[in-house]
């Protein structure tokens, strides 16, 4: 029997040819080289420069590492009692044992190039392991197990082939209807789609329901934003970074130990080896400005040459607002700060969210270590830490118990006590894992973290989103910004955006002192389609 007599093979071959013609080939990452390659790698001997970094999250730690390695005297001031920002892990006594409880589960993706570079410099690659296929359950669709495997574009065709909910025709018609997926152009997509929400965009382009629910909705949930308000352009960029950019775009890793042990402790140790000072429980109340130049002189009576705001958006807004109140009678400084505040006036904080970790006396057999459940509000994701991290696994093997973490994004139940959270989400949790009630699981301990500190990426906000050197345009030339709420000139998101903008902030300072900048390896601004450059 000839191959062309088998309809399934004919369709597959035809699909491959169409994919190659339409989708083109994946784009390699690009390097943003230093603009001053001939300058020295470090500050010359005898030259001293001091830097205050406000905020000890990924952005602040990234800034500090780049500057400290090049001879700068860096001080990090962190308002919390632990380092790490939204990556923190703090020791808590639970069931007569010390666990490091994290802000929440994090996955580390293939396109996180800056962070992978830092991992190598900290010698912590051994603290990571692959996160395998993505397990998802739905209320309106069959369960899915998604993974990308094989050369491009066969990896995408294989995803459709394996899917229980999407067929080839649905995927192809969706791609043709939404050219911004494969013919993505980062420099233009925000002009076309930032002013509409993801929900509006899906309606305009008649996005196939199955394609939207299975492929796009899980990515949407991790932004902490709602599809009724999230910028369509932002989601299109996420699809490139986490799915379409190259065959390995969805490859991700998790830590084998808690974030303090695996990432933060080695990072802090490296910084301190360069003399970096880290002050916890230390807030920056405001800046003192030079009345003649408009630059910052000090923060809370301590003088520095440069200042980096690497707090979350709310922290930046509060620090600058407090500073403005001190200079109502100084036209130069007051106007500079007002220009700064006006530049971020259109930004907001995403809805509140909660993370609840529960120690049970039993385990659910054959359950995935990470389960995404985007249609099971208020639960968006469940991580089983006894299957992920070493310390939790030791406890579970000894007791037969389990440690499950429930991520509750865009919390809509208002202010409730920690003791009420499980009662609210337990019906949904038992719908997902009926074994909890069937096998009479007993709760041994509960920990709840509540937050309202994630940046909103609502439609129309990109034009208000500053870049790392924004303060210079406001007349404050020795102030830089770093954080995941900023805008970059290349595709980036979430933790990688924080690390990348931290490096950008350091680069602006290095350039001012004629020290060679640090290169950045970033995802391509073009999608894989052959027409991306002209679309």
For residues 7 and 9, give the distance between their C-alpha atoms in angstroms, rounded to a whole number: 5
- What average pLDDT score do residues 521-532 get? 79
Same domain, 73 and 50: yes
Cβ atoms of residues 164 and 193 within 8 Å: no
Q: What are phi and psi of 14, to 5 degrees?
A: -60, -40
Residue 309, strand partner residues: 54, 481
Give the residue among 53, 39, 56, 27 at the shortest CA–CA distance from 490: 27
- What average pLDDT score do residues 367-373 get? 95
Query: 455-513, pLDDT tens digit by residue?
Result: 999 999 999 999 999 999 999 999 999 999 999 999 999 999 999 999 999 999 999 99
Residue 391 in domain = yes
For residues 417 and 398, give the distance between their C-alpha atoms in angstroms, rounded to a whole number: 31
Own/partner pairs, 203-210, CB within 8 angstroms, 24+ separation: 205/177, 205/178, 206/177, 207/174, 207/177, 207/178, 208/166, 208/170, 208/171, 208/173, 208/174, 210/141, 210/165, 210/166, 210/170
Length of the chain: 535
Residue 445, strand partner residues: 359
CB atoms within 10 A of CB 80: 16
Mean pLDDT taken over the chain: 91
Q: Which residue has the higher pLDDT, 83 or 199?
A: 83
Split at pLDDT 50, 70, 90, the class of 176 is low
Split at pLDDT 50, 70, 90, the class of 177 is low
pLDDT value at residue 455: 94
Same domain, 477 and 395: no
Split at pLDDT 50, 70, 90, the class of 514 is very high
- Structure token pair of residue 332: 């130069």
Instruction: Indicate if the pLDDT at residue 391 is higher than 80.
Output: yes
- What average pLDDT score do residues 257-271 get? 98
> Domain of 407: which CATH number?
3.90.660.10
Split at pLDDT 50, 70, 90, the class of 534 is very low
pLDDT value at residue 533: 47
Same domain, 286 and 427: no
User: Which region among 43-57, 173-187, 291-305, 377-391 has the lowest average model confidence (pLDDT)?
Assistant: 173-187
Q: How many CA atoms lie within 13 A of 219 on its CB side?
A: 25
For residues 1 and 508, give the distance between their C-alpha atoms in angstroms, rounded to a whole number: 66
Same domain, 329 and 466: yes
Same domain, 333 and 390: no
Residue 432 in domain = yes
Split at pLDDT 50, 70, 90, the class of 223 is confident
Give how many domains the chain has, as a whole number: 3
pLDDT over 90 percentage in the chain = 76
For residues 513 and 373, give the distance between their C-alpha atoms in angstroms, rounded to a whole number: 50
Same domain, 410 and 342: no
Instruction: Indicate if the pLDDT at residue 249 is higher than 90.
Output: no
Q: What angle do CA 467, 472, 474 make, to 5 degrees?
A: 95
> Domain of 475: which CATH number?
3.50.50.60
Split at pLDDT 50, 70, 90, the class of 527 is confident
Q: Which residue has the higher pLDDT, 248 or 408?
A: 408
Same domain, 221 and 165: yes
- Structure token pair of residue 107: 């996955």
pLDDT value at residue 467: 98
Cβ atoms of residues 155 and 171 within 8 Å: no
Same domain, 160 and 239: yes
Same domain, 477 and 330: yes
Instruction: Indicate if the pLDDT at residue 535 is higher than 60.
Output: no
Residue 117 in domain = no
Torsion, Cα of 313, 314, 320, 324 (10° steps)? 140
Residue 479 in domain = yes
For residues 117 and 108, give the distance between their C-alpha atoms in angstroms, rounded to a whole number: 13
- Structure token pair of residue 200: 């509006």
User: What is the full DSSP assignment across 122-147?
Assistant: HT-GGGEEEE-SEEE--SSS--EEE-
Domain that holds residue 282: 32-85+263-347+460-522
pTM for the model stands at 0.93
pLDDT value at residue 23: 54
Same domain, 405 and 474: no
Give the residue among 496, 498, 504, 506 at the shortest CA–CA distance from 520: 504
Q: Which residue has the higher pLDDT, 66 or 182?
A: 66
Residue 16 in domain = yes
- What average pLDDT score do residues 169-173 get? 76
For residues 501 and 487, give the distance between their C-alpha atoms in angstroms, rounded to a whole number: 9
Give the residue among 368, 277, 293 at the shortest CA–CA distance from 53: 277
For residues 216 and 203, give the distance between their C-alpha atoms in angstroms, rounded to a whole number: 14
Give the burial class of 512: count Cβ atoms within 10 A of its Cβ; 0-12 exposed, 13-18 middle, 19 or more buried: middle
Same domain, 431 and 474: no
Beta strand extents in 225-305 (DSSP E only): 252-255, 277-279, 287-289, 296-299, 302-303
Last residue of a domain, one of 451, 486, 505: 451
Instruction: Indicate if the pLDDT at residue 248 is higher than 90.
Output: no
């Amino acid at each position: 029997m000839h191959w062309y007599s088998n309809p399934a093979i004919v369709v597959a071959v035809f699909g491959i040819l169409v994919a190659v013609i339409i989708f083109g080939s994946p784009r390699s990452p690009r390097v943003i080289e230093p603009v001053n390659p001939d300058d020295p790698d470090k500050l010359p001997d005898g030259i001293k420069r001091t830097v205050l970094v406000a905020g000890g999250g990924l952005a602040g730690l990234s800034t500090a590492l780049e500057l400290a390695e090049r001879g700068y005297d860096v001080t990090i001031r962190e308002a919390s009692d632990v380092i790490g920002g939204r990556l923190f892990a703090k020791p808590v006594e639970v069931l007569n044992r010390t666990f490091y409880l994290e802000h929440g589960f994090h996955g580390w993706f293939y396109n996180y190039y800056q962070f992978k570079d830092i991992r190598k410099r900290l010698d912590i690659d051994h603290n990571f392991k692959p996160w395998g296929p993505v397990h998802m359950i739905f209320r309106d669709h069959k369960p899915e197990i998604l993974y990308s495997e094989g050369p491009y574009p066969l990896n995408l065709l294989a995803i459709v082939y394996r899917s229980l909910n999407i067929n080839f025709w649905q995927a192809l018609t969706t791609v043709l209807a939404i050219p911004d997926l494969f013919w993505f152009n980062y420099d233009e997509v925000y002009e076309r789609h930032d002013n509409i929400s993801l929900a509006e965009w899906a309606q305009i382009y008649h996005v196939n329901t199955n394609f939207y629910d299975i492929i796009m909705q899980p990515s949407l949930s991790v932004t902490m934003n709602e599809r009724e308000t999230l910028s369509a352009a932002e989601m299109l960029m996420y699809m490139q970074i986490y799915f379409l950019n190259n065959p390995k775009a969805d490859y991700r890793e998790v830590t084998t130990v808690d974030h303090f042990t695996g990432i933060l402790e080695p990072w802090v140790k490296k910084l301190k080896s360069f003399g970096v000072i880290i002050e916890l429980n230390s807030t920056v109340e405001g800046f003192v400005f030079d009345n003649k130049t408009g630059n910052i002189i000090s923060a809370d009576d301590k003088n520095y040459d440069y200042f980096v705001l690497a707090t979350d958006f709310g922290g930046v807004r509060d620090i600058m607002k407090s500073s403005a109140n001190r200079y109502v009678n100084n036209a130069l400084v007051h106007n500079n700060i007002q220009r700064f505040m006006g530049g971020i006036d259109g930004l907001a904080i995403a809805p509140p969210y909660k993370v609840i970790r529960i120690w049970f006396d039993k385990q659910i057999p054959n359950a995935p270590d990470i389960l995404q459940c985007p249609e099971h509000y208020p639960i968006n994701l469940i991580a089983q830490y006894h299957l992920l991290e070493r310390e939790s696994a030791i406890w579970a093997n000894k007791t037969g118990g389990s440690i499950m973490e429930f991520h509750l994004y865009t919390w809509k139940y208002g202010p409730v006590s920690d003791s009420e959270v499980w009662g609210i989400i337990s019906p949904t949790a038992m719908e997902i894992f009926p074994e909890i009630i069937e096998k009479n699981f007993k709760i041994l301990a509960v920990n709840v973290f509540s937050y309202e500190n994630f940046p909103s990426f609502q439609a129309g906000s990109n034009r208000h989103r500053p870049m790392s050197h924004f303060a210079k345009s406001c007349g404050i030339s020795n102030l830089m910004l770093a954080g995941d709420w900023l805008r970059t000139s290349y595709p980036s998101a979430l933790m990688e955006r924080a690390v990348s903008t931290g490096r950008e902030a350091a680069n602006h300072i290095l350039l001012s002192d004629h020290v060679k900048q640090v290169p950045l390896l970033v995802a391509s601004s073009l999608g894989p389609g052959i027409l991306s450059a002209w679309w």
